[in-house]
Amino acid sequence: MTTQAIKTTTMTYGQAVCDGMAVEMRRDPTIYVAGEDVGMFGGGLGVTLGLIDEFGPKRVRNTPLSETAIVGHAVGAAMAGLRPIAEIMFDDFLGIVLDELGNQAAKARYMFGGKVAIPMVLRASCGAGIRAAAQHSQSLEAWCAHVPGLKTVAPSTPVDAKGLIIAAVRDDNPVVFLEHKTLLNIQGEVPEGEYIVPIGKAEVKRQGGDVTIVAWSAMVAQALAAAEALAAEGVSAEVIDLRTIVPFDKEAVLESVAKTNRLVIVHEAVRTAGFGAEVAAVVAGEGLDLLDAPIVRVTAPDTPVPFSPVLEDAYLPNADKIKAAVLSLL
């Protein structure tokens, strides 16, 4: 018996997100994209470039410069039976739409006893590293994680970006889809056609036995680089990419910690109340006897993101800081 090889294409992370949206839009005419300049200009960072050529302006809709209008209309459209993919340029602007997202989209299914679904995706760029300063560089996944009813995903690779955007579009609940700015142009092999990465499933990116490193989004690459450097010193690090923030795959983390007995959590968001604190609390609460050392977090400091290139580089977690954290446990 033979199995047919999966055909893949090399594309960037941004192209993978776009390809996933196009796959779904061809399959389901109720799916459409809306946001500032998502048509001819491909949105704020070019991710939707080319969609309007295939699907036209009725399904790739430019909106006014109003995040409230973008997300508010998407909530209503989803309740009425459509499946909108709304784009706001930066997750820094989530504060503008907290009512529409947190009070309406997240709660409607619960408040109506399951009689209404909210199949909408809210896409936003996140993260620092491109000198965009304090108001356009934050990582606010913990804001979304705190609201029951929202799912939140943050892929780290092109293949996961496509698989997760398709899964998000097919979900009957509101999903916040975070695309890190520094990842948009990285390239990778991506399956052609329909390809789904399940929401809520982490992935072991590297096997190891001495320490578990949990990361997501842009920090996965830094964790893998740290693991490579540690291997040269005889330390075997296991790297887990959460991929999904909510629901969080605690089983994968606990299984890894049971093997390594040490845990380092890495995220780009500021330290206080970052989602890493939730990961640490779950492991401490459900797997304290698995640990041979304290849980360590490697995060950004509790300050706004600096504009100065030198300060921004110092602000961001990186492979060297992760390596030092691991060595402190050993």
Containing 328, the helix (H) or strand (E) segment is: helix 319-329
SS3 call for 80: coil
Q: Which of 136, 146, 180, 267 is catalytic?
A: 136
Q: What are phi and psi of 17, to 5 degrees?
A: -60, -45
Give the DSSP per-residue string, 192-228: SS-----TT--EEEE--SSEEEEE-TTHHHHHHHHHH
- Rounded Cα distance between 223 and 318, Å, is 8
Q: What is the largest CA-CA distance in the chain?
A: 59
- Rounded Cα distance between 124 and 152, Å, is 11
Degrees, nearest 5: CA angle 97-181-89: 30
User: Going by C-beta distance under 8 Å and a sequence separation of 6 or more, which residues neighbour residue 55?
Assistant: 22, 25, 32, 33
Q: What is the CA radius of gyration of the chain?
A: 20
Whether 136 is catalytic is yes
Cα four-point dihedral sign 214, 253, 180, 151? negative
- Rounded Cα distance between 147 and 144, Å, is 6
- Rounded Cα distance between 317 and 181, Å, is 16
Active site residues: 136
